Structure 1
Amino acid sequence: MSVTARTLHRTQSVCPVCLRRIDAAYVREGETVFFRKTCPQHGSFAVPVLRQAEGLPAFEDWQRPKTPSYPARPLTEAAQGCPFDCGLCPGHAQHTCTALLEVTLRCDMACPVCYAAAGTADVPPDPDMATLIRQLDRLRQVSPGCNVQLSGGEPTQRDDLPDIIRAVRARGFGLVQVNSNGLRLGRDPAYAVGLREAGLDSVYLQWDGPDDAACAPLRGSLPQGESLMARKAAAVRHCAAAGLGVVLVATLMPEANLPRLGDLLRQALRLGPAVRGLHLQPFSRFGRYPGDLLTAPRLSLFGVLEALCAQAPELVRPEHVHPPGCEHSLCSFSAVYARETGPDGTPGLRLLADAASPCCGPASPARPAAGPQAAPLEAAEGARRSRQFVAAHWAGAEPEAAPVAAADDFSRFLARAGVERRFTLSCMAFQDALDLDVERVRGCCIHVMRPDGRMIPFCLQNLTAVDGSMLYPDRLRTGSPQAESEGEHAP
């Protein structure tokens, strides 16, 4: 019996072979929604986006319409059209919530999976402090008050990381966070204290599974048989003692650690209130990865939700999560919970249905603010709330004597809310060359600050074709913003 195909939405994408811009569409075929596109030179491509299952949201209902918020100070011109003019260009539809500053491509691991393809023998030199200061000053001009994540590579490879943190803090940005594998943090308790004293708020800690076996396919192993998870657990203890917030970040692969997702969530809760949340990232094929871009197994945003609900039904249900108020609806979901302890001492979660409403969620778990008929949200306001929500919930504990700034009702709400007793659960589905949607790119709020002064949406910064060529190459190269915009890829 043939299945009727119904086109739900038309957009544009790129060919995964040549990266030229091509038309694309979301098409429902039975219980599955596919993202389909055809390159006149390299043929047709399709990737599943959603498989309808009982209790899961329907593709047609998982929408959060937004009124675009264009850059007040564009850094590049719109010449070839999205996604070839990033900088950001005047047509980008969302402000910066989080700016990533890549401070090195060196790494003390050589993970089989790495978005940045870091830790190789031929990495470029680290940007010097003068370059980083110029980047931060440019960022303050175009996105004052955004959250900043210091990334890489492995940022703790730089001995001057405390100085970089101080430079970020001195410029009045929101949350100051380091993206880390945790090895140095787990080795030296004093190191976490030094980062906290420099002004660090939070550690975005690589944590892919509940034990070494679950992590090995993505991260390999440490020398001399040392347990990777034991080192990471020490990093959590040291961060907690230093007053740093920790967010566990898992890259999920269907053939590797996805079957252990429920165990991972329970472990995150057992690690205590210093762990502010668990952030999940379905595996995207850019940078360094095993397998083939076109044929390897895929994991969608809703595939993660389905696995969570199946493996931890006592903690998570489909109606708990909501679409984002900042980035495109197909990019993420999240929920906010209160920590609880059962009679047997087992940690648990209780949904806080209204806790996310000041940020990006609906007023109740039934998601009434989502769907095609929902009133559009001002993208600029969604970005502001999202920045503030993340900064408050992911940061470490303030000293007892520190005054609480309550500049508006939302700040007062957070000041009363007992953030340390909360737990955020979130998932962000990055795009690779097979499922890149230009509309999603234009709504991106996570931007990488490049040494030449441009800001590139995260997925475009890492986007690679089948042969490994990058849409935006030479990520740590300094020079004029025009240097890379005249590359070989064209509409």
Structure 2
Amino acid sequence: MTRRPLPYRTESLCPVCLQRIPAEYRREGPDGVVVLHKVCPEHGAFAEPVWRGEPDFGSWVRDKTPSHPRRPFTEADRGCPFDCGLCAEHGQHTCTGLIEITARCNLRCPVCFASAGEQAEPDPTPEHIAFQLDRLKQASGPCNVQLSGGEPTIRNDLPEIVRMAKERGFGLVQCNTNGLRLGTEPGYAASLRAAGLDSVYLQCDAADDAAHEVLRGRRCLPEKLAAIRACAEAGIGVVLVATVAAGVNLDGVWKLVEMGLRLGPQVRGVHFQPLSSFGRCPWRADRSPRVTLPEVARALEVQSQGQVRWTDFHPPGCEHALCSFSAVYRRTGEGLELVRGASACCDCGDTPSAAEGARKAKAFAAKHWSSPEEVSDGGGGDAFDRFLASAGMAQRFTLSCMAFQDAMTLDVERVKGCCIHVVSPAGTLIPFCLYNLTAFDGTTLYRGRF
């Protein structure tokens, strides 16, 4: 397996002017923190920590055989990251296609990658969303789909949009939501399940409301708990998704896991997203309470008193290794037990295959996060419980973490390996971090430019 000794060079963008500039990863200080350094000829030097602690950075990062887009929509001209659509030089085809079906929202979160609710454009028509779904299918085949926004449940025709996606044969149809409508409107979750919704990606930052006041602008945990109950009754799997910031909720990551476990098998896992400063954010990218992947892994180990360990976690087989980690556990009466050989990533040989990693990542999401089919076992329990029991999934629980890139941490090499793509209004596919990237003054690289 090819390892990456430090220092090593890549390219990044200037956080002021968004021009491509050389960059280098270096190990610094007695604790061996890995820092991304870059210099813009016009705006000077920038440095940002990207890796604090174990596992060792050099052993975690490795080369991978690319899996190029099935159907590129743009030509390579100016070079990455300015030719996205995707171009033929992109190193990973789409695993998850994200479609923003509204810019409206019923929250105004201080932290919002989409800056939702600010001068919201009219919602795209159903016909236009159908066009975006068709373009995604042309580009990537039956990948997974996440309906996002803004807040997707603002749209009263969300069930019809879910049906459109299911009719096109996508492997997993998931809704990215704050849960407010799900938790307050009787029968709403059931209507989404009847339309074919597989999974809810539920914004939930902590097991108490202090973090929600900082990150979401208000206390909203009761509504989120009600949303989880509604999804359980409807037979929709739920993944709790937490933005993590130092001094805000890093010290409570295990409490959130414990809450998810207590809520029952309808909660399929917890997904952590370290704070990235793009879109609407109270912290500029060079001054944010940033945490790195190893810090989240270590926090889970320490706070769980060793029930989970950082050595449980694996780099991804799909996206770039610096982007994420994951592990699969079995629920026990006392907590969690690692399921060996059940990782979401591929088993890596000398040169891991991005294509095989993508295949396993898509199958993993569909298997571990999706809703049930009706399965009759002749016994008691609702359809969700019967499905989980028959599929052997009732006790499975995933822990994962994805570190998105902002203007300080963007690495062109990582971008080329991205498998999570936003379907733009023009029907082109843009890596998630690039689509949401903003300079210090709020200038965007792609969002709002179609």
- Which range, TM-score by smaller chain? over 0.9
Matched, 1:165 2:150: no
Q: Specify the alignment match of 1:382 in structure 2.
A: 357
- Secondary structure of the corresponding residue to residue 162 of structure 2: helix
Q: Normalising by the residue count of structure 1, what TM-score does the alignment of the two structures yield?
A: 0.86
Q: Specify the alignment match of 1:449 in structure 2.
A: 423
- Secondary structure of the corresponding residue to residue 469 of structure 1: coil
One-letter code of the match for 2:362? R
Number of residue pairs aligned between Structure 1 and Structure 2: 434
Give, in angstroms, the shift of residue 32 of structure 1: 1.2
Does the 8 Å contact 1:322/1:361 carry over to 2?
no
Q: Specify the alignment match of 1:349 in structure 2.
A: 336
Give, in angstroms, the shift of residue 329 of structure 1: 0.3
Residue 451 to residue 75, structure 1, CA distance change in 2 (3 Å): same
Q: Specify the alignment match of 2:24 in structure 1.
A: 25
Give, in angstroms, the shift of residue 417 of structure 1: 5.6
Q: Specify the alignment match of 1:48 in structure 2.
A: 49
Give, in angstroms, the shift of residue 43 of structure 1: 0.6
Runs of 5+ consecutive residues of structure 1 not aligned to the other structure: 1-5, 222-226, 343-347, 363-368, 403-413, 478-491
Q: Specify the alignment match of 1:245 in structure 2.
A: 237
Deviations 1:357-387 (A, max 9, x none): xx4154xxxxxx4xxxx51122112111110
Q: Specify the alignment match of 1:92 in structure 2.
A: 90
Q: Specify the alignment match of 2:78 in structure 1.
A: 80
The equivalent position to 2:247 in structure 1, one of 237, 247, 255, is 255
Deviations 1:311-349 (A, max 9, x none): 11242101100000000000000000001113xxxxx10
Q: Counterparts of 2:181 and 2:312 in 1: how far apart (Å)?
A: 36
Runs of 5+ consecutive residues of structure 2 not aligned to the other structure: 378-387
Q: Counterparts of 2:130 and 2:389 in 1: how far apart (Å)?
A: 32
Q: Counterparts of 2:147 and 2:338 in 1: how far apart (Å)?
A: 31
Q: Counterparts of 1:270 and 1:417 in 2: how far apart (Å)?
A: 21
Q: Counterparts of 2:74 and 2:261 in 1: how far apart (Å)?
A: 44
Deviations 1:284-322 (A, max 9, x none): 000011122222332111121121112112421011000
Does the 8 Å contact 1:301/1:429 carry over to 2?
yes
Residue 171 to residue 423, structure 1, CA distance change in 2 (3 Å): same
- Secondary structure of the corresponding residue to residue 146 of structure 2: strand
Q: Counterparts of 1:145 and 1:350 in 2: how far apart (Å)?
A: 32
Q: Specify the alignment match of 1:211 in structure 2.
A: 208
Q: Counterparts of 1:126 and 1:151 in 2: how far apart (Å)?
A: 12
Q: Counterparts of 1:473 and 1:244 in 2: how far apart (Å)?
A: 31
Q: Specify the alignment match of 2:370 in structure 1.
A: 395
Give, in angstroms, the shift of residue 141 of structure 1: 1.2
Root-mean-square deviation (CA, aligned residues, Å) is: 1.6
Q: Counterparts of 1:280 and 1:134 in 2: how far apart (Å)?
A: 31
Q: Specify the alignment match of 1:273 in structure 2.
A: 265
Q: Normalising by the residue count of structure 2, what TM-score does the alignment of the two structures yield?
A: 0.94
Q: Counterparts of 2:447 and 2:173 in 1: how far apart (Å)?
A: 26
Deviations 1:377-412 (A, max 9, x none): 22112111110111110012221149xxxxxxxxxx
Q: Specify the alignment match of 2:110 in structure 1.
A: 112
Give, in angstroms, the shift of residue 258 of structure 1: 1.1
Identity of paired residues, percent? 57
One-letter code of the match for 2:67? S
- Secondary structure of the corresponding residue to residue 60 of structure 2: coil
- Secondary structure of the corresponding residue to residue 419 of structure 1: coil
Does the 8 Å contact 1:276/1:420 carry over to 2?
no
- Secondary structure of the corresponding residue to residue 217 of structure 1: helix
Give, in angstroms, the shift of residue 416 of structure 1: 7.3
Q: Counterparts of 2:210 and 2:124 in 1: how far apart (Å)?
A: 35
In the TM superposition, 1:127-138 aligns within 5 A as: 127-138=124-135
Matched, 1:10 2:2: no
Q: Specify the alignment match of 2:382 in structure 1.
A: none
Does the 8 Å contact 2:346/2:356 carry over to 1?
no
Does the 8 Å contact 2:330/2:339 carry over to 1?
yes
Q: Counterparts of 2:369 and 2:185 in 1: how far apart (Å)?
A: 22
Does the 8 Å contact 1:214/1:260 carry over to 2?
no
- Secondary structure of the corresponding residue to residue 24 of structure 2: strand
Q: Counterparts of 1:244 and 1:417 in 2: how far apart (Å)?
A: 15
Q: Counterparts of 1:425 and 1:196 in 2: how far apart (Å)?
A: 24
Give, in angstroms, the shift of residue 64 of structure 1: 4.1
